[in-house]
Amino acid sequence: MRPGGERRERPDDLTAPAFLHKRSAPHGPSGATPAARPLLAITYSTRTVYERPEDIVADLERGRLEINTGHCEHPLWTPEENCVFRIAHDVIPYALYLRPFSLEGEVLAFHDHVRRAPAEARLALFTEIFGFAAIRYSTGVYPERQKCIVFPELLAAYEAAFLPSGGAAQT
């Protein structure tokens, strides 16, 4: 839910954050194609970066995103793959849908991701959210290392119940 109770269903909503509306001209003033430059400067740190989803949106509107690299050892991903996941995890559920930083927000974030994910990524997403985040919100701290693959049979039941057309990813 957004502040005031309205909900963002699609990223192209008129209520979407301003960073989604930024478009750059394909050619410079002289008509020449400008040198390519990234639209988003991604940096990495070991500090806790954001206190709430609105902080992520503010950074994105400034053209930047900072990703925490702590606790990146994962049973299914390399540390680099985990950081790529964290980029998507910060943008999709938190910046687009303003999901809260809570266990409920993590469950909603999982649903936001899994609807767009290929089948081979789903167990890793499920492990990340229902294993790693659940421990953090139950104990107050993240485990130093992600050590388990969480309940593949529960993921299968989730896919059957909540994903359209046999669990195919949506685009």
Q: Which domain holds residue 52?
A: 39-167
Q: CA–CA separation, 38 vs 19, rounded Å?
A: 13
In a domain, 134, yes or no: yes
The count of structural domains within the chain is 1
Is the pLDDT reported for residue 162 higher than 50? Answer: yes
In a domain, 24, yes or no: no
State the pTM of this model. Answer: 0.65
User: What is the rounded average pLDDT for all residues in the chain?
Assistant: 74
List Cα–Cα distances, 123 to 5, 70, 113, in angstroms.
32, 21, 12
* pLDDT at 8 (0 to 100): 38
In a domain, 75, yes or no: yes
Q: CA–CA separation, 45 vs 3, rounded Å?
A: 29
In a domain, 49, yes or no: yes
